[in-house]
Amino acid sequence: MARRKKLPPPPPYAPDSHTVNDEIVATTTRYDDVYYLHELGRVKTVKKAKGQSEHLIHGEGEVQLRISWVSDHIVKLKFSLGEPTVLHSYGLAEGVAASTKVDVSEDKRSWHWQSKAIKLSLAKKDGRITIRDAVNNKRIFSQSDPFQVRTTLLKGLDQLRMPFDAQDQESFYGLGDKTGDTDLRGRTYQNWCTDSFAYGNHSDELYRAIPFFYGLRKEGAYGIFLDNTHRTHFDFDSQKDGQINVWADGGDFDAYFIYGPQLDQVASRYIQLTGTPELPPLWALGYHQCRWSYYPESRVRELAQDFREKNFPCDAIYLDIDYMDGYRCFTWNEAYFPDPKRLVSDLRKSKFETVVMIDPGLRVDEDYEVYKSGIKQDVFCRRKDGRHMVGPVWPPACVWPDYTKPNARAWWGQLYKKLYKQQGISGFWNDMNEPAVFKVNSMTFPGDVRHDFEGHGADHNAMHNVYGMQMTRATYEGLKQLKPKKRPFLLCRATYSGGQRYAALWTGDNIASWEHLVLANRQCLRLSISGFSFVGTDIGGFVDDPTGELMVRWLQLGVFHPLMRVHSMGNNTDGAAEAEADAVKQAEMMHRQNQEPWVYGEPYTSQTRAAIELRYRLLPYLYTAFRNHLLTGIPVLRNLFFADQKDPLCRKFDDQFLVGDHMLVCPVLKQGQKSMQVYLPKGKVWYDYWTGKKYAGGHKYRLKLSPNSIPIFMCGGSVLPQVDTPCQATVDTLAAKQLSLRLYLGEAGSGQLYWDKGEGYGYEQEEYLVADYSFTYEKSRLTIQQTQKGKYQASFKTILLTIQGAEDQFEPATVDGKSIEAQEDGTYVLPFGFKEFRC
Ligand code: MIG
């Protein structure tokens, strides 16, 4: 079946030819390489694979296909050239197995597999696949060309490619870490984890490899997760011929087709495959302050004091690489930090958690304990020739642990012991794990570096995209072992699909520009719908200085990003080196490149504070949304079109987003913007969060903007829990005496509060509180009911109830049968545990 084609296109025929019996024969024509194409070909056999729900398909060609079902909505297609070679998946969550049985049948032209949700057909002629909705028989996926594998004479396996057809109006979303427009259609993308300092709108290979995307067409939405750790490629109709091509440079082609038909069903089924993070400690959802770098100790103390004196809530302070001794991970620079334990404990007294950076590149240094023990345990990556992979990152010569090796992970996890258990560090930050290498243009390991791959063995080309993910796994598992009662907080840069199980993400080295503010929104939304709900950006931008206005707008966006962290490269620029000779210039530079929320002066300081305070006020809602993400897989943040995927206007206003079940945010992303057009989805009424003004859904509105504006809309029929009590950090939020409930009228509605200690695993033993609020509003009578579940004793004593959207006067109110007066402003103060309120 192997057809032979030449690569690159052959040069003009002739130079080295001669004639035999009048025929021209090429004898010495040579090319840089030649390639061969392989397909499944005409289907010969469809066999059940030993007792499982898997079918093995052989055709006339060498490509094999295995079809198995994870559920009625998720089917796995495994294409391989000959026998499969990839026998382990890092992407899948533990316990995911393809074990659903479905009906199989055949007719003259095709084989068919039918689950309750989808019908997959395989053409006997050439193995092309078509997928339909099993209920209405509408086509949701089809191929005009069959699956193809390319090998080359010199490289062997070179490409595994799935072509399929896009419908005219089909849009593509997801793919995790991409810039550019929300709809992926019309461009090509590659996944190859890259240290992309100061990336731009059209940078392609960013820090993460998340080979999962959505197709949204008239008939419904589906997703495809290509569980392949090699470099992967996605061509979403870049040629405008309706052809989509997805390919990988090696391995097997393990693709999961995930049917919706609703986008949020696809999102949650993808999470079912790849897992969720744990519930973060509540402090991790507070505001975080970072910079490269805060040191020495006195500077850190001063920073902490500034936060409290200037009245800015904050939960975490980060130490970047300069806390280390000569960039040796797991050590301290004792001149800068003579007593880390004391510093950390003093910070905690002022309600700050301390987070420190850990890189994977470890200094080659015979006097460095970590290096010595790693050598002893044989945990470092080696080249093809058996020597260690050595290269420069921060230290001039580093070695790197092979995190795909179980004992290397175990070794790595224990390295955190001193920092985590003895010195009281609360969280960690794993950087440079693409893995990044300095000095070489490739910016990473050469492909020949060998990895253990759980004993299977693989080269770096195969493991590159999971290196960062496995690093965070090793860290996460280590932290869990070291302090089993604490929820780990880990922030990471490079990762792969499923990496959400181990760490939160930030979007890397962005730039302080308005364009990057737009990207910040897109990237977080894209990551969020691609499995990573716990995301955020370097607020204000990592490179360069934001203006006060940009900083304010970025913080106002960051209010809704689960990770709300300001970070910047500070004065670590070439400019700083240049200025070294000039003390005045340098001092000015140091000053200018501070990025704490108060450095811009008024009116900005009040505006940045207001944004951070809003974040703390919304924590109960955000925490509840997070918990629901863990239960349902529905992302905390979703693009507006998740609210109504059939409405083209929701697709058009794709920078607007949903937070949790009831909130819609229209971020202000342009400089000097005085007004903006927003679109509110159909079928609901919406309320301005700030004024309570009611808007009919299904319309566009022009909003007037002030520098303070954070346009938020709540949908009618919802209840929003928040804590209005001013606080310094989440420990105060957890001690608040009053919960505020804002009720947005509709004929009926509901809302929820999930609350717990904010730390630890008591919630697994019902040490939580789930308060469900539901209401009906008929004939001017409002009845609200509350049911509380769980054993957690929250600090709340009362509820401040605000009712939004009432047109008539309410009747006298009662709570649990007793009459109660409204306050002057129309709000009610109810006992926290009330069961029924009427008015
Ligand atoms: O090459 O640790 O993205 O957040 O401040 C720069 C210093 C290394 C890159 C990270 C950035 C961090 C910086 N790191």
Three-state secondary structure call for residue 672? coil
Probe target for ligand 1 pocket from 432, 443, 568, with the most ligand atoms within 8 Å of CB = 432
For residue 697, the CA-to-ligand 1 centroid distance in Å is 44
Q: Which atom of ligand 1 is nearest to the CA of 357?
A: 2
Q: CA-CA distance, 767 to 568, in Å (whole number)? A: 38
Answer yes or no: are the C-beta atoms of 465 and 527 closer than 8 Å.
no
* Pocket of ligand 1 contains residue 459 by CB under 6 Å: no
DSSP H stretches of helix in 404-547:
406-414, 417, 460-482, 514-529
Q: CA-CA distance, 505 to 430, in Å (whole number)? A: 10
* Pocket of ligand 1 contains residue 319 by CB under 6 Å: no
Measure the CA dihedral 370/373/375/378, to 10°: -120
Cis peptide before 812 (omega within 30 of 0): no
Q: Which atom of ligand 1 is nearest to the CA of 508?
A: 3
Q: CA-CA distance, 760 to 461, in Å (whole number)? A: 39
Find all residues with CB under 8 Å of 570, minimum gap 6, and list them: 291, 292, 293, 593, 594, 595
Distance in Å from the first CA to the final CA of the chain: 77
For residue 173, the CA-to-ligand 1 centroid distance in Å is 29
Q: How high is the pLDDT of residue 238?
A: 94
In 274-328, DSSP assigns E strands to 287-289, 316-319
Q: CA-CA distance, 308 to 664, in Å (whole number)? A: 31
Q: CA-CA distance, 106 to 117, in Å (whole number)? A: 18
Residue ID of nearest Cα to ligand 1 atom 13? 292
**Catalytic site residue 168?**
no
* Pocket of ligand 1 contains residue 570 by CB under 6 Å: no
Answer yes or no: are the C-beta atoms of 252 and 85 closer than 8 Å.
yes
Probe target for ligand 1 pocket from 208, 356, 431, 544, with the most ligand atoms within 8 Å of CB = 431
* Pocket of ligand 1 contains residue 558 by CB under 6 Å: no
Q: How high is the pLDDT of residue 34?
A: 82
Q: CA-CA distance, 807 to 804, in Å (whole number)? A: 9
Q: CA-CA distance, 561 to 537, in Å (whole number)? A: 8
Answer yes or no: are the C-beta atoms of 273 and 210 closer than 8 Å.
no
**Catalytic site residue 732?**
no
CB atoms within 10 A of CB 418: 16
For residue 197, the CA-to-ligand 1 centroid distance in Å is 9
Q: Which of 320, 431, 613, 647 is catalytic?
A: 431
Probe target for ligand 1 pocket from 569, 572, 574, with the most ligand atoms within 8 Å of CB = 569
Q: Which of 170, 177, 509, 756 is catalytic?
A: 509
Find all residues with CB under 8 Å of 584, minimum gap 6, and list them: none
**Catalytic site residue 434?**
yes
Q: What is the mean pLDDT of each run of 10 residues along the chain (839 residues)?
A: 46 46 61 87 92 88 96 98 96 91 95 97 98 97 95 91 96 95 96 95 92 97 98 96 96 98 98 97 98 96 98 98 97 98 98 98 98 98 98 97 98 98 98 97 97 98 98 98 98 98 98 97 98 98 96 98 96 62 62 86 98 98 98 98 98 97 98 98 97 97 97 98 97 98 97 98 96 94 97 98 86 93 94 97
Residue ID of nearest Cα to ligand 1 atom 5? 292
For residue 792, the CA-to-ligand 1 centroid distance in Å is 40
* Pocket of ligand 1 contains residue 508 by CB under 6 Å: yes
* Pocket of ligand 1 contains residue 434 by CB under 6 Å: no
Q: CA-CA distance, 536 to 538, in Å (whole number)? A: 7
Decide the pairing of beta strands 232-236 and 243-248: antiparallel
For residue 431, the CA-to-ligand 1 centroid distance in Å is 7
In 166-301, DSSP assigns E strands to 171-174, 188-191, 212-217, 220-226, 232-236, 243-248, 253-259, 287-289
Q: Which of 126, 297, 402, 434 is catalytic?
A: 434
Q: Which atom of ligand 1 is nearest to the CA of 393?
A: 1
Residue 122 pairs in a beta bridge with 111, 129
Answer yes or no: are the C-beta atoms of 451 and 466 closer than 8 Å.
no
Residue 737's Cβ-count burial label (10 Å; 0-12, 13-18, 19+) is: exposed
pTM (predicted TM-score): 0.95
Decide the pairing of beta strands 504-506 and 535-536: parallel
CB atoms within 10 A of CB 757: 16
Q: CA-CA distance, 416 to 411, in Å (whole number)? A: 10
CB atoms within 10 A of CB 180: 19
Q: Which atom of ligand 1 is nearest to the CA of 436?
A: 1
Give tens-digit pLDDT for 301-310: 999 999 999 9
Give tens-digit pLDDT for 770-793: 999 999 999 889 999 999 999 999
Note the Cα 570 to chain centre separation in Å.
Answer: 26
Matching residue, tokens 């991790």: 284
